[in-house]
């Protein structure tokens, strides 16, 4: 293990143990280096690395702080990765990842969704059925899937799906424009997903949303 990695692990350990909390300012470099038995050079490299992945924030003239550590912040590197590998084969893998994650969120949403969330899901399905503008249709689609993720009460999964779903927006638009009955099929599938969640059938919700996303992947495979 390199000295820099050792320094990273020690700082991470302080955060995990609660010695450093979100928003806390790190001790001065010399003090922290002595405390952790590190060279100032290794410590500096560790701070730079942790700042790149948004665990730390270096404020010029003020010091170094632990960030909020919110999932959406820490998972920005996932967004970078999916943008960097935005080819068709990667898009298929993104859809596969979505299928696995959303199966779980739908099952949890069936257990945990509130009455207000269920009402909003139903409204989105009803509104989607009346839309004829492709951009508004896709926006409704994104909101529907995001609400299911939110209803799972898992912030990490919400952040992951936000990153993954945004990478498939163009595929959604393309499908809506080119596939026969894409609008009608999507509305039917969304209604089936909503009804499974509303009736607290987690197993059914998981199966229906899995088939829904698999259908998009199948269409993309043939469209290529």
What does pLDDT average to over the chain?
84
CATH for 112:
1.20.120.530
pLDDT band at residue 85, thresholds of 50, 70 and 90? very low
Residues 124 and 19 in one domain: no
Residues 158 and 145 in one domain: yes
pLDDT digits (tens, 9 = 90+) for 159-216: 888 878 766 665 665 566 556 577 888 999 999 999 999 999 999 999 999 999 888 7
Per DSSP (E only), the strands in the chain are 56-59, 63-66
Residue 35: give the domain boundaries. 3-69
Query: Could you say which of 41, 69, 97 is where a domain stops?
Result: 69
Residues 83 and 62 in one domain: no
Residues 118 and 195 in one domain: yes
pLDDT at 128: 93
- List the helix and strand counts (H, then E) for the chain: 12, 2
Query: Could you say which of 69, 87, 109 is where a domain stops?
Result: 69
CATH for 7:
1.10.10.10
pLDDT at 105: 97
Block residue for tokens 């935005």: 86
Residues 188 and 206 in one domain: yes
- Distance, in Å, from the CA atom of 111 to the CA atom of 200, rounded to the nearest integer, reads 6
Residues 100 and 142 in one domain: yes
Tell me how many domains the chain contains. Answer: 2
Residues 78 and 188 in one domain: yes
Residues 9 and 120 in one domain: no
Residues 82 and 61 in one domain: no
| pTM, full prediction | 0.65
pLDDT digits (tens, 9 = 90+) for 87-97: 555 777 888 88
* Distance (Å) of CA 121 to CA 16, 98, 116: 37, 19, 9
């Amino acid at each position: 293990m390199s000295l820099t990695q050792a320094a990273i692990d020690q700082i991470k350990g302080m955060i995990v143990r609660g010695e450093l909390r979100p928003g806390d300012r790190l001790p001065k470099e010399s003090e922290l280096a002595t405390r952790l038995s590190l060279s100032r050079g290794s410590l500096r490299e560790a701070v730079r690395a942790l700042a790149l992945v948004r665990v730390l924030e270096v404020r010029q003239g003020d010091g170094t702080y632990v960030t909020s550590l919110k999932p959406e912040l820490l998972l920005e590197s996932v967004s970078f990765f999916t943008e960097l590998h935005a080819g068709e084969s990667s898009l298929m893998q993104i859809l596969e990842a979505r299928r696995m994650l959303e199966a779980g969120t739908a099952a949890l949403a069936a257990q945990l969704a509130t009455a207000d969330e269920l009402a909003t899901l139903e409204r989105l399905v009803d509104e989607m059925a009346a839309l004829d503008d492709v951009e508004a249709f896709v926006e409704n689609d994104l909101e529907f899937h995001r609400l299911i993720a939110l209803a799972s009460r898992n912030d990490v999964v919400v952040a992951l799906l936000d990153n993954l779903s945004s990478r498939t927006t163009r595929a959604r638009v393309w499908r809506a424009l080119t596939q026969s009955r894409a609008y009608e099929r999507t509305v039917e599938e969304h209604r089936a997903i909503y009804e499974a969640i509303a009736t607290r059938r987690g197993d059914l919700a998981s199966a229906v949303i899995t088939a829904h996303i698999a259908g998009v992947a199948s269409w993309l495979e043939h469209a290529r």
